[in-house]
Structure 1
Amino acid sequence: MAISRFADLLDEARRQPEPQRLLFVFTRAELPDNPTEEQRARFEQGEGGVLTPVLCVDKTPEELSDMAALVAESQRTGIEWDVVFVGALSGRGREAPTSEEAENHLQRMVQSLQMGNTQSFLALNRQGEAIALQ
């Protein structure tokens, strides 16, 4: 199944034979250090920049209802973000992995994103639509 929106992600995670824990890394678009004039101009037009991880959370699919609820929960932190990257961690048997088990995976996910590896994860905008990054 092609995942094109948050609802598709939840449906697919709930259909998996093994319980899932979804990993979310929220990022904010920022100018790179020492930007060129071209980079600055593109950024001001809503293009380019770098995505900096600013917030992480893990949830089971059952803890999530829709993208609006996830956005509302993130807003309560007071941290602004532009793109959220999603990964998944499968459980064994009847139970989803715990938050403690997810912690190392979230840290590796953040490190991977900081190195520019965005292709391994699903990227969603604030409306819950899958986006492709260039």
Structure 2
Amino acid sequence: MISNYSDLVQTSLAQVDAQRFLFVFCRAELPEDASAEEKDAFQRGEGGALTPVICVDKTPEEAPDFATLVEESRSTGQDWDMVFVAAMSGRGGMEPSSDEAKQPLTMMVESIRLGHISNYLPLNTRGEAVSLQ
């Protein structure tokens, strides 16, 4: 069971094939046509839409802890509320390259935009896994 980013890194390092992580950082936003009820829920930290604002791929060694990711994300100037993570497995002892990650990362961003998030690990700004309903 993965409950935080550290668990994810440890699990990935224990895999037979080298891994590459795909990250999509999202900002929670309220649609312009939101009802009063939706606005109230959003103020309580519920509801809204998750809009991708940053996407990047990294090996577990390039992002060994969540603080490293947070620091790098700050350099973009983009605020975010949640990050979705997926892992790609390599082959023959070789980790996937950034070039190999481009298409899956693009597909991940589009999937999240459409609300299809069940295949990804959602983490809050502290690197803790969260359950989305």
Sort the TM-score into its range (normalised by shorter chain).
over 0.9
Is it true that 1:78 corresponds to 2:81 in the alignment? Answer: no
CA distances 1:45-72 after superposition (whole Å, capped 9, x unpaired): 2111000111001000111121111101
Aligned-partner Cα distance in 2 for 1:32–1:14: 40
Please give the secondary structure, in 2, of the residue aligned with 1:107: helix
* Alpha carbons 2:16, 2:93 under 8 Å: kept: no
The DSSP-based 3-state class of the residue aligned with 1:101 is: helix
Equivalence for 1:27: 26
Report the aligned-residue RMSD.
0.8
Q: Which runs of 4+ in 1 moved over 4 A?
A: none
Q: Deviations over 1:35-93 (max 9, x none)?
A: 11111111112111000111001000111121111101100111000000000111111
Name the CA distance, whole Å, in 1 between partners of 2:131 and 2:63.
23
Q: TM-score, normalised by structure 2?
A: 0.97
Aligned counterpart, 1:43:
42
Name the CA distance, whole Å, in 2 between partners of 1:66 and 1:99. 19
**Identity value in percent:** 52
Deviation, structure 1 residue 3: 0.2
- Displacement of 1:32 in angstroms is 2.0
Q: Which runs of 5+ in 1 are unaligned?
A: none
Higher mean alpha-carbon deviation, 39-48 vs 2-11, is at: 39-48
| 1:11 partner SS | helix
TM (norm. structure 1) is 0.96
Whether 2:92 is the aligned partner of 1:87: answer no
